[in-house]
A and B are shown apart, each in its own frame.
Chain A
Amino acid sequence: MSDTQGRGAVLSALASLASLAAALTCCLPLGTLLFAAGSAGASLFAEKLRPWLLAFSAAALVLAFVQTYFRGRCAFRYRRVRTVLLWFSAVVVVGMLAVPQVFSALLAGRLPSFHAASDLRDFDERDLAYEFDAAIAQTRMVVLLSPT
């Protein structure tokens, strides 16, 4: 949501469009997998577009795998780079879908947390209200956050 993130979203979207253009030419697998990665990156920032971009990322990735391993349309000399990029994109896209909190932390420049600092209670307004009023002598801050 910050300016930096906003620029990131725009750049990521442009990268996606560029790789779409590439996908329409000879270097289809590379374009497809860049598109997959670009869509997934953009989805971190665009709340509304996120479900569509993630779905598109997954679809583009499947297409890239099919083209790399079953059709082999591009020149052989690009294959090694393409394969590395393909698997890199697969790790990124699958990781974002499977362990989004870890990827969110990494992309925010933090190490992912694997150790609980305290209990994670099920929300109950009475519980919150009790704790809130019990600390009436203090400044209190209520923060609503998405885990990813």
Chain B
Amino acid sequence: MREKGAANVRVFVVWEPVLDTDWGRPSPALTGYVPDRRAIHFWDHDRKLSARYGGAARLDALAGERKVAFRMQDVLWDTALVYPPGARWGSPARLLVAPVVKYRGELAEAL
């Protein structure tokens, strides 16, 4: 995001409890890790978005291009989906990558 300071992009960061250390509702300071003004942050305690996407079992249906370098069990996490202009909510993404840090170059290109 820092590299693409001028990109016309909107980012939805959905924080969800996945690991055992994710206990309790996180502090709003969590949003400080992605301080970009183009980002909107959500806390998804019940992992509803992962379920809405169909969980890890339906990765193939979520995006035209997928780059996944770790095996998710059931919850979709550490994942970024890029949607092109014109795509409505519910349509497939152009690109899906996981884990995010490994594919930050591809993400930067896609933006």
* CB atoms of A47 and B19 under 8 A apart: yes
Q: Of A17-25, A69-77, A95-103, which binds chain B?
A: A95-103
**What is the size category of the interface that chain B forms with chain A?**
35 or more
With the chains together, A117 CA to B20 CA distance in Å? 25
**Which single member of A2, A136, A145 contacts B85 (CB below 8 Å)?**
A136
Question: B90: which A residues are within 8 A, CB to CB?
Answer: 129
Residue on A with the closest CB to B96? A142
A50 interface contact, C-beta 8 A: yes
With the chains together, A54 CA to B22 CA distance in Å? 13
Residue on B with the closest CB to A137? B85
With the chains together, A51 CA to B13 CA distance in Å? 26
Interface string of B1-29 (1 = CB under 8 A from A): 00000011111111111111110001111
A interface, by DSSP: helix, strand, loop or mixed? mixed
* CB atoms of A116 and B29 under 8 A apart: yes
With the chains together, A123 CA to B51 CA distance in Å? 13
Report the minimal beta-carbon distance from B76 to chain A, rounded to whole angstroms: 6
| In the complex, chain B residues 36-58 whose Cβ is within 8 Å of any chain A Cβ | 36-37, 39-46, 48-50, 52
Residue on B with the closest CB to A134? B10
* CB atoms of A141 and B76 under 8 A apart: no
With the chains together, A96 CA to B29 CA distance in Å? 17
Residue on B with the closest CB to A1? B99
**Which single member of A115, A131, A137 contacts B29 (CB below 8 Å)?**
A115
Of A121, A132, A146, most buried by chain B (CB within 10 Å of CB) is A146
| In the complex, chain A residues 116-131 whose Cβ is within 8 Å of any chain B Cβ | 116-125, 127-129, 131
Report the minimal beta-carbon distance from A138 to chain B, rounded to whole angstroms: 5
With the chains together, A124 CA to B21 CA distance in Å? 23
> B interface vs A, CB < 8 Å?
7-22, 26-37, 39-46, 48-50, 52, 69-70, 73, 76-90, 93, 99-102, 107, 110-111
**Which 5 A-B pairs have CB atoms at the shortest separation, nearest pair first?**
A113-B32, A100-B21, A123-B44, A116-B28, A117-B35
Q: Would you give 12 A-B contacts (Cβ < 8 Å), ordered by A?
A: A100-B21, A117-B32, A121-B40, A128-B49, A136-B86, A137-B8, A139-B9, A139-B82, A139-B110, A143-B100, A145-B100, A148-B21
